[in-house]
Chain A
């Protein structure tokens, strides 16, 4: 059983620059910040390394940090420019009974994160959901399509903070 500080040290030794920082301010659970395009290598190491054994992915969650610049577009709707979108990974080892949380932050305009779907199949639908809701592109995901919204939805990504409800869907007026 290892605590997040020890896991952070192990990863820092192994991956260097890829592992960015360990956040551990109470009451927040501590999490390790990782570079978005290297997350798959870090996850594979965490899964297979003796003494770490993170065999299961509990949860994978997208989030809109909304830390960009808020500006008005031509229709006077507030939109967010710049800033980041993030993904949280909650990992767990069933045999060693320890947990760790990873976070990647990616550019809002071109959000790209390496997929961990091949490492834990559990990530398949979670990543599709994050794509559906936030528009985060998971590179090398075998089937990255919308999951909860209709497949032909063109109204944008609903859980982004600057999402505007579309007036029409396929020519039909959407009542509110």
Chain B
């Protein structure tokens, strides 16, 4: 990760009216929302489809 993005400097911030959040925190929140949405539609790895769910 450190070789892709410089993690040693000060973080950039998104500031819009009352909203103030660092870009790293914003990235984490966006990733959580994406993973949550995917988890609602995907099956657990290795899970077999139930017989009555076709």
Do A and B associate with each other? no
User: What residues of chain A have their CB less than 8 Å away from a CB belonging to chain B?
Assistant: none
